[in-house]
Amino acid sequence: AQTVTQSQPEMSVQEAETVTLSCTYDTSESDYYLFWYKQPPSRQMILVIRQEAYKQQNATENRFSVNFQKAAKSFSLKISDSQLGDAAMYFCAYRSPVTGANSKLTFGKGITLSVRP
């Protein structure tokens, strides 16, 4: 079974600064997908960024980028130019390849990010 570990329960960043959220995972599969989700106080999970394990290039979405280290099974999220609206819980998630099976996600425990004005 796959596991996802987020060991930092909380982090804080100054507005406009850069912050990195850590995530490690364990799997015996060679192909898989990794995600970062944001959960604001409204509780709705929002997809931030995703990474295919077979791609060596790190995914980037505007101010959000990842550092994917497949050998180390590490998947960190970097948020640049932090904004007050980035304050939320962030979850790292793993998904096996979808080949007719369901695409259920395995989530980490999450990290609470606060942004200081």
Partner 1 sequence: DTGVSQDPRHKITKRGQNVTFRCDPISEHNRLYWYRQTLGQGPEFLTYFQNEAQLEKSRLLSDRFSAERPKGSFSTLEIQRTEQGDSAMYLCASSSWGGDKITVEEKLFFGSGTQLSVL
Interaction site with partner 1 (CB under 8 A): 4, 33, 42-47, 50, 52, 91, 93, 97-100, 102-110
Minimum separation from the CB atom of position 117 to partner 1 (A): 26
Measured from the CB atom, is 8 or 106 closer to partner 1? 106
Task: Report the alpha-carbon distance of residue 33 to residue 35 in Å, rounded.
Answer: 7
Measured from the CB atom, is 14 or 114 closer to partner 1? 114
